[in-house]
Each structure stands twice: as structure tokens, then as C-alpha cells.
Structure 1
Amino acid sequence: MKLIKWLRNILNYRKFNCRRRALFSLKCCLVCKKPTKRGCNCLNGSIDKGTASLGPCLAIIAVLLILIVSFQYIIQIHPHLVRETSLSTAINVTGVFLWLFVSVLFNHQSCVWISPGYAPKCTDGYSSKYQNVPDEYFKYDPELKNDETVRYCKQCQTEKPWRAHHCRVCNRCILRMDHHCPWIWNCVGFRNQRYFYMFLFYLWVGTFFFIYFGYNRLFELYKVSSCILTFLPTIFCKLEENKIVVMNDNSLSWFNGRRYNDENQWFMFCYYACCGVNAVMLTFLMWNSFLLVNNQTTLESFQNLNAEMRKTRKNKKLRHFKYLYDLGSAQLNIQQVFGSKYYLALLPICYAPIGNGLLFPLRDQVHQIVFADTTNEPPNTKHLKVVTV
């Protein structure tokens, strides 16, 4: 179904004059003191259509890069380890690399194909096991703004569950939405957030693994011709390829030497690509770890970390709480994403997160404020305290 939807978007996108609409939108936003709704909608629509169309391409490129780097490890680093160390050591190191390769690929594909969790488009869309969720719980949403009675989605034309947000690219309300990632052709939400985090983790470890064990192989193939910073030669130095000694003087010698050079260039490309990806993944991993231990999403952090944005909360008593869904301990917060057996996330297996994605536990202080009006407190809300939903 995703492939059919992608092909349909591609055909529609060809008829969409992205450049003309984007220029019109920028003109509206720059010339007018107050940007026109039509102009900004055109600009947002251009970006959303482009993101939706590029999604499958970027996801395929990500898989191809993972395969290319893994192939270069097999043909370059593994033989070097066999020559420089021992066969048993090389096999053990390569076994660890293959484990990292499987983990990276598994978590990436899980992010692609596992639904982030979609909010029902109407209250009748709740399945039978969610029928105990009262309609009144919408008005107890801790994230209500000053002028809101319920959090209502104009695009889906229905109430939003707690922590749900509308994705313009997917055109659906996503449960516990974090953000839309084009590299996985999907949103990161309630059901696939742990796979996204583990993808970042294993990608960071895997690229570091490639850099560490490929360092000696790189300088076996290349020599330093000039260097700016001697303590970081692989990044700030100019490398010059060592001369290749061709043993057989025949018609295939030039071809063999040329093929050898091409393989070395691919290895050098993969090495520098891993250096860049490793630095980026470290930044992403640190940010997502911060979100994880505080039990918040990327979208929620924009409001939580801004004191002025927190003042827009309808309930004045909640405005001094920076993290509304923080359960008081890092362990409880991590369990909201990884479950009680969070060590299973290290294995390439699929399992559902705890809860239903509609209601989320609150620590006692926040729970008492949210449901302070006990006379109108909806039934079955005691399970929203710090317990498993």
C-alpha cells in the first residue's frame, strides 16, 4: 500500500509547480507584514509534498549505504585483520560487526514498516478494548491551551488523544508523535519509537566500530602527504594513495590495478562517510537520550523548554512543570518506551510497547492537578497514575 501511495504522490507531484508556489509563498511572507494564509499554506504544502515524495528514495539510499559499508568491511578490513592478527581474532571481530549490521538493518526496517500508531479519525473508531476510555478524558488533557476546551484536529476533524499531533506529511494524527523522519519514510511515534532510538544507537556503535578497525587499513593503503592537525590525521590530513606493485606483466595487469584503485576509493569514501555519520549520530543519540529519560517527545520539548510557551497552558497550576509526563525516575520514563523488560531492545525482536497510546500515566502531583475537580472526574482515571497503563 505504501508503494502504491508513493507512486500516486509522484504522479501528482509532477503536476505541482513547486518552484512557482514556493516563490509565491516567500513573496507573501516577505512583502506582507502579516503573511497570508494561502502563501504560507503553499510553502508548507510544497515542503510536505517534497518530503513525502523523497521519503522512499531516502529510505532506499539509507539501506544501500549500510550494505556498501558492510561490503567494504568484508573485502577490506576483515582480510587485513586476518593478516595482522590471527584468524580466530578476525572471526570474532567480524562476528561482532555482523551483529551490529543485523541490528542496524533490523531497527531501520522496523521503523519503516511498523506503524507509529494512528489516532482514530472519530470516537467510534476506538476498538472494543478501548471502550472503557470515557469521552470526557479529552477535556482533561494536560496540554490544553488557554482558548481550548479539547485538543481538536481540523484536518482529521476529531479530538486528539493525549500527546497526539497531526503530521502534514502522513496526513494523520500520530499517537505520541515525536517527529517525521524522511530517512525511515515514516513518523516516529508511540509504536516505533524504541526502534528509532535503537537504530540511532546501533548506527553510532557500528560506524565507530568501522572507524576503529579500519584505521590501520586506511593507512596501509594511503600515506599522509600533508597535515593540518597531526592528532586527527584521518580528518584534517591530505592522503596520497600508495603505489600499487603489479606482479604479473600481462594484459590484465592494468585492469587489476584499476579495479584495486576503485575498491580503495570506495573504502576511503565509506571511512569518511562513517566519520561524518558517527558525529551526527552522537548528537542525535544524546538529544534522544535526554528526551527518553525525561519522558518527552521532540514536539513536546519545544514547549517544555520555553517558559513563554508553558504560560499558554490552560491549567495555571501546570505552568511551572517543565516535563508534564516525567514520572519521577529515569527507569520509569525509559519503561514507557522500552517496556519493563527494556533489555530486550538489544535483541532484533519485535514487541508492543506498554499501554494503548491514548492514555498515559502521570506522577501524583500532576495527576492531582489535572483531575482536581473530583466531582466531574471521569471514571477509570486512577490508572493514569504511575502504574502500567
Structure 2
Amino acid sequence: MVRVTWKLASAPQTVCNYLKWQWKKMKLSYQTFFYNHFMDHGYFADICMEPMFWFVDNFTKFLGPFFVFAVCALTVSVIGIAYWIGLPYWWGRNPALTVVLFLVGHWLLANICFHYYMAASVSPGYPPQGALIPEAASICKKCIAPKPPRTHHCSVCNRCIIKMDHHCPWLNNCIGHYNHRYFFLYMVYMVVGVFFLIVFGVELAYYEVWLDPSDANSDDDDYLEGHPVRFNHSVIVPVPEYLTGNHSSSEPASPSQKRTARQSCIIYMAFINVGVFVALGSLAMWHARLIGAGETSIEAHINKAETKRLAAQNKVYANPYDLGRRKNWRLFLGLVGGRTWRHVLLPSSHGPPGSGLTWPSVHSDAEGDADESKD
């Protein structure tokens, strides 16, 4: 008996097998065409993303001076408003307190300017070219040169950086071994500085922005009707002239315009100071945690990946450069060789201990050229 098979019924399966075979051939051709010993999916993805990386690196390098100018302009504007509005206000309130605020504010300002300038101008540190490196961790694929431990290549600067943390566009400079302390102390003093302005500017902002100046002569219990005074814990304090509208100027439109400009400046300062306090405060706390753990931003990601990798093998990873929180901070701040906290509270140009080519670790008995006995 002859069995009749209709080819139409097996057509879908035939088409499916044909497509699978064509896909296998295309995949094999692709792998044959591109394959070499170093090729993998990650490398191929990096090649495809290289134009984007090039654009970001050159874009960051090009805009670096503009970012520096923006930081300087914002800082100068905030300081100018503090002189214009804040200083006369507190001088009218309490001259003795104003002198204290003046000294504290300028101590903070001196530290901010000094550490920002040093962080932006001091070289982060580069491996010596053509010289013998005491210890090489690997070979840089872009520089084609040995890399000391904790050294990484910056694609923006196109150089290897000793103990690289990151490239900061706001400084137009890399953060490395020789300027990491300046960068961190700049953030700390900037956060303290804006907090200082916020604390001693809240009362002024309340009377300038949130409180209507016309309320000074209203039925509010805090004011005497018809008189430019207010009660403050049984002490009569004169209300500033700009709140009562009693100006000596003969121009009728000037007071209103002046109040509007003052309110705009105070609102501007409030946004800038609060934004810097939150953003830079969070970044400073993050870096403080890294410094206490003896690692940089790059090393934090490397150590996290190593911890996860070894945990899968039932092993525990320990950061070899974590010498303990207290010792990590002392080496980072350079409090060695007789230096004290005076070198942190006041501007100091002392460099970090060691050359950055060798590092003390938990596996070494000696600290090499980062020994605390050296400056």
C-alpha cells in the first residue's frame, strides 16, 4: 500500500529549519570574520561604544575651563551678596557678633579658595617616563607602559594617574595622589561654608522674603503699630529701614525696585546654598567613607566586584590597602612627620607621604616610602 505525503503539511517545519541553518551560518561567518585571541562580547561592545567615549572625553576636556569659570562666578556672586545684604544686617543687629562672623567667614573663605586653587592646579601625579618603577601592577594598554599599583589611565587627560580617584570637570583636573587631599578639604570647607551662610541667613530671609514688609505696621503682636520697632524677648530692636520703607532717597520708585532686587538675590542664594549643601555634602560623605576604608572611587568598584567574585567561591576579600580607619586618615591628611591638625584647619601646601609608586599594605611588614617618619 502506498502512503501519500503532502509536502504542504511539512512546509512550516522546513522553513523553520532553513531559517535556523541560515542564522547559524551568519553567526559562524561573523565569529570567523572578527575572531581573535582577545575578542569577546565585552571587547566588541567597547569597540562599538568607542565613538561615544571619544565624544564624552573630548567634550569634558573642552568644557573644563567653562566649569571652572562657573564655580568661580557662583562663589563670587554668593560672597558679594553676603557682603551687600548679610553684613549690614548683622552689623545693625549685633556689632560684636558681626566681628566674630566676619572672622569665621573669612577663615572658611580662605580655606575654600586655597584648596580649590591647589586641587585645580597641582598635578595629580604621573608615573615616571623611561625610569625604573619599583613595582608594576600591570601594563597600560593605551600608554604601553608599566603601571604602578593603584594607577589608572584617564581617558580625558590621556595619561596614567597615580592613585587615580576620578576626573573632575569642575576642577578641569584629575584627582590623584598629590591633589586628593586638596579636593576633599575643598568639599568639606565648602559644605561648612554654605551651612554657615544658611544658618545665619534664615532670619534675614524670613524678614526679607517670607514676611511682608507692610506687616511691620500691622496688627501683629511682634510690632508696635506705627513705629519701626519690634519686640525680641523684652528688648526693643529697630527694624531695618528696608523693611519699613522709610528711605532717605527722594526717588519714589527706588525703594520698591531695591526690595525686589534684594529678595531675588536672597532667593538665588537660598537655592545655590541648599543645592551645594545637599550635592557636595553627599559627595563629601561618600569620599569620607572611602578614605576611611583606604580606597578610591575606582578601587571601590573593583573591590566590590572582587568581594562578589570571591564570595561565590566561599572566600573573603580584604582590601590590601586598608590599614585601619585612623591610620588611613592620618596618611591621607599627611599628619606625619610632626604635622598636626593645624595643617588641616589652616591652608597648608604639604604633600602626601610617599611617591605613590609603592604603597604599604596589610601584607607588608614595612611601609616603604610612605613611612610615617617621612614628610
TM-score by length of 1: 0.70
Q: 1:310 to 1:164 in 2, by over 3 A?
A: farther
- The 8 Å contact of residues 210 and 271 in structure 1, kept in 2 or not, is answered as no
Q: What CA distance in whole angstroms lies between the structure 2 residues aligned with 1:357 and 1:44?
A: 28
| Corresponding position: 1:87 with 2:95 | yes
Q: What CA distance in whole angstroms lies between the structure 1 residues aligned with 2:117 and 2:69?
A: 10
| Corresponding position: 1:220 with 2:219 | no
How much has 1:194 moved relative to structure 2?
0.5
| Corresponding position: 1:358 with 2:367 | no
Look up the match of 1:55.
64
Q: What CA distance in whole angstroms lies between the structure 2 residues aligned with 1:276 and 1:249?
A: 36
Q: What CA distance in whole angstroms lies between the structure 1 residues aligned with 2:163 and 2:299?
A: 10
Q: 1:249 to 1:384 in 2, by over 3 A?
A: closer
Look up the match of 2:278.
279
How much has 1:56 moved relative to structure 2?
0.8
Deviation digits for residues 79-105 of structure 1, max 9, x if unmatched? 111222x21211111211111111111
Give the unaligned 5+ runs of structure 1: 1-32, 142-150, 226-241, 369-381
Look up the match of 1:334.
329
| 1:197-346 correspondence runs (5 A) | 197-223=184-210, 245=245, 247=247, 250=250, 252-307=251-306, 311=310, 320-327=316-323, 329-339=324-334, 340=336, 341=339, 343=341, 344-346=343-345
In structure 1, the residue corresponding to 2:210 is in which secondary structure?
A: strand
Q: 1:102 to 1:68 in 2, by over 3 A?
A: same
Look up the match of 2:168.
181
1:172 to 151, 156, 159: 159
Q: What CA distance in whole angstroms lies between the structure 2 residues aligned with 1:310 and 1:335?
A: 31
Look up the match of 1:96.
104
Look up the match of 1:16.
none
| Corresponding position: 1:348 with 2:358 | no
Give the unaligned 5+ runs of structure 2: 1-40, 213-241
How much has 1:268 moved relative to structure 2?
1.5
How much has 1:291 moved relative to structure 2?
0.9
In structure 2, the residue corresponding to 1:305 is in which secondary structure?
A: helix
Q: 1:100 to 1:47 in 2, by over 3 A?
A: same
Q: What CA distance in whole angstroms lies between the structure 1 residues aligned with 2:87 and 2:248?
A: 25
How much has 1:63 moved relative to structure 2?
1.1
Look up the match of 2:143.
156
- The 8 Å contact of residues 194 and 345 in structure 1, kept in 2 or not, is answered as no
| 1:372-383 correspondence runs (5 A) | 382-383=366-367
Q: What CA distance in whole angstroms lies between the structure 1 residues aligned with 2:309 and 2:79?
A: 46
Q: What CA distance in whole angstroms lies between the structure 2 residues aligned with 1:69 and 1:42?
A: 39
How much has 1:248 moved relative to structure 2?
5.5
How much has 1:51 moved relative to structure 2?
0.7
| 1:102-113 correspondence runs (5 A) | 102-113=110-121
| Corresponding position: 1:41 with 2:46 | no
- Number of equivalent positions: 298
- The 8 Å contact of residues 91 and 98 in structure 2, kept in 1 or not, is answered as yes
Q: What CA distance in whole angstroms lies between the structure 2 residues aligned with 1:303 and 1:108?
A: 28
* Matched AA of 1:258: Q
Deviation digits for residues 289-313 of structure 1, max 9, x if unmatched? 111111110000002123466549x
Deviation digits for residues 326-358 of structure 1, max 9, x if unmatched? 11x222111222112252122112111100010
| Corresponding position: 1:119 with 2:127 | yes
Q: What CA distance in whole angstroms lies between the structure 2 residues aligned with 1:385 and 1:362?
A: 12
Q: What CA distance in whole angstroms lies between the structure 2 residues aligned with 1:62 and 1:207?
A: 14
How much has 1:259 moved relative to structure 2?
3.8
Q: What CA distance in whole angstroms lies between the structure 1 residues aligned with 2:357 and 2:370?
A: 15
How much has 1:264 moved relative to structure 2?
2.6
Of structures 1 and 2, the one scoring higher in RCO (CA 8 A, sep 6+) is 1
- The 8 Å contact of residues 290 and 296 in structure 2, kept in 1 or not, is answered as yes
Structure 1 vs Structure 2 CA RMSD: 2.7
- The 8 Å contact of residues 362 and 385 in structure 1, kept in 2 or not, is answered as no
Look up the match of 2:3.
none
Q: What CA distance in whole angstroms lies between the structure 2 residues aligned with 1:244 and 1:50?
A: 51
Deviation digits for residues 101-124 of structure 1, max 9, x if unmatched? 11111111111101111123x4x2
Q: 1:52 to 1:293 in 2, by over 3 A?
A: same
How much has 1:39 moved relative to structure 2?
2.8
Q: What CA distance in whole angstroms lies between the structure 1 residues aligned with 2:309 and 2:295?
A: 14
Q: What CA distance in whole angstroms lies between the structure 2 residues aligned with 1:249 and 1:262?
A: 16
How much has 1:255 moved relative to structure 2?
3.9
- The 8 Å contact of residues 303 and 309 in structure 1, kept in 2 or not, is answered as no
In structure 2, the residue corresponding to 1:155 is in which secondary structure?
A: coil
Q: Percent identity among equivalent residues?
A: 26
